[in-house]
Structure 1
Amino acid sequence: MKQEVLAIRHVHFEDLGCLELVLGERGNLVRYLDVGRGRIDAPNPLDPSLLVVLGGPIGAYDDANYPHLAPLLSMLEKRMAAGLPTIGICLGSQLIARALGARVYPSGKLELGWKPLELTEAGRTSALRHLEADGAPIPVFHWHGDTFDLPDGATLLASTDDCAHQAFAWGEHVLALQCHSEVLTDRFENWLVTYPGEIAHGGTTAAALREDTARHGPALERAARAMFDEWLDRFGISQQP
């Protein structure tokens, strides 16, 4: 029987990206639960072989306006306490941090565009090591205005000058990534046509982001696929006979 991966999706085009390609090659079934289409608390968080919480333009702390956040946080708490593989990307990483008791808050600056991560010593011995090639960091894509304190017991894996806590691990089974390492070049135009206001606020242009994505995207796709492959290997989330 093939293993099912559950992805919580807030915006249709902010999907699993290259992680979905990796999972497909391994024979995993991917099911998306789109926020706003059914009850967020319906799935048993202990059932999937992997749970991934994806990005979105809302605040991880804005329960008053987004009532799905409370049951989603409860799902994350139960799953992480059970020691099951869990990944958070952008908003997903912020929700993981909050579920682990850390504060999530506006950073005061929109980090938008392509820049490399500065890996910590722990990051260089983790699956994130693939985000460096021949000792040089590979630019990754960033689009977020919130940040979080590092949760108790977490291991910091990466930073940037605008965001001290870019990636962390919690135990062996939780990976939180503020950056969008999953982004695919041939799907990037959706980002540009959906968020023109944020692009202007971020001090860049759609043309510049499109050009940078064409330049850096293919290298990131190769590196991110290797990163996700290595991380998944430890859990046996692999192709089934």
Structure 2
Amino acid sequence: MHTALPDTIYAIQHLAFEDLGSLEDTFYQMGYRVRYFEAGIDDLSKALEYKGLTIILGGPIGVYETEDYPFLQQEIDLLKVRLENNLPTLGICLGAQLIAHALGAKVYAGHAKEIGWSPLDIKATPNNPLAVLADHAVLHWHGDTFELPSQATLLASSAIYPNQAFSVGNNILALQFHIEAEAHTMEKWLIGHTCELRKADIHIPSLRRDNQQYAVALEMVASRVIQNFIGQLKYQ
């Protein structure tokens, strides 16, 4: 365990079944506890002002939908301050989009839904925490995308979208893809996102087969990504 980092990981959830997945076991094995905050219900100030690691998880809403979902504006405002203070932050999917937006980059509806398993183009940047993902398929599940923030380092691209992951220094990591996908819980996603899957004309049995084929291998390397990221945190 990273001795300087507080021993609880805070995670902001936007959708009940989009949790930390396989990463939760990784944190437990590393000696951390996990506490969840429910966006739209809980006061997120404690999570976003927390000096330890806060993880912002995915969800089907867009960062620009603040009129329909007013809690998003508070989340964005708190996140801006968090990032200015360089507090340890990991964003996944919507979480990555929120980080990009909070850093001043444009987030917008992409030209195509990217749903399914495919490998990443991992960039040859020094100390890239995603290097272990080379040659591994990851789960993509998004329609929005973002421009790269001016202060960010691009870490990965996909065949469809150039900006799939970025970092800002050692403490801020944003992943457009779902590194947390867990083989034995993916049926929750197929049930919960059925409307989106059908609208996008995704063949659910094929996606289920891919989940079963690729998720176990991803679980193993995802653990190493998290260990890499936590190992490089500069905690004050």
> TM (normalized to structure 1)?
0.91
- What residue number does 1:130 align with? 132
Q: Which residue of 1 aligns with 2:8?
A: 4
| Partner deviation per Cα, 1:144-172 (whole Å, 9 max, x = no partner) | 00001100110001111211100000111
CA spacing shift, 1:225–1:99, aligned 2, 3 Å? same
* 2:172 equivalent to 1:174: yes
User: Which residues of 2 match residues 158-197 of structure 1 at below 5 A?
Assistant: 158-197=156-195
Structure 2: 5+ residue stretches without partners: none
Q: Shift in Å at residue 2 of structure 1?
A: 5.8
The normalised TM-score by structure 2 is 0.93
Which consecutive aligned stretches of 4+ in structure 1 deviate over 4 angstroms post-superposition? none
Number of residue pairs aligned between Structure 1 and Structure 2? 231
Residue 115 in structure 1 maps to residue 118 in structure 2: yes
Structure 2 equivalent of residue 18 of structure 1? 22
Deviation for aligned residue 1:236? 7.9
* Separation in 1, partners of 2:128, 2:40: 35
Q: Give the SS at the match of 1:110.
A: strand
Equivalent residue number for residue 82 of structure 2: 79
Deviations 1:75-113 (A, max 9, x none): 211211112110000000000000000010000211000
Structure 1 spans left out of the alignment, 5+ residues? none
> Offset of 1:204 from its aligned partner?
2.1
Q: In structure 1, what is the Cα distance between the partners aligned to 2:47 and 2:56? A: 14
Query: What letter is aligned with 1:130?
Result: V
In structure 2, the residue matched to 1:155 is 153
Could you tell me how far apart the structure 1 residues matched to 2:47 and 2:200 are?
38
**CA offsets 1:150-201 (integer angstroms, 9 cap, x no match):** 0011000111121110000011110000000111011100000111121123
* CA distance in 2 between partners of 1:155 and 1:168 (Å): 5
8 Å contact from structure 2 (residues 109, 143) kept in 1:
yes
Distance between the aligned counterparts of 1:163 and 1:207, measured in 2?
25
Cα distance in 2 for partners of 1:199, 1:152 equals: 33
Aligned-residue Cα RMSD (Å) equals 1.7
**Structure 1: which amino acid aligns with 2:150?**
D
Q: How does 1:59-78 map to 2 (within 5 A)?
A: 59-78=62-81
Q: Which residue of 2 aligns with 1:36?
A: 40
Question: What corresponds to 1:100 in structure 2?
Answer: 103
Q: Deviations over 1:103-125 (max 9, x none)?
A: 10000211000000011111x74
- Conserved in 2, the CA contact under 8 Å of 1:73 and 1:95? yes
Which gives a bigger RCO, structure 1 or 2 (Cα 8 Å, sep 6+)? 1
Contact 2:10/2:47 (<8 A) preserved:
no
State the identity %: 39
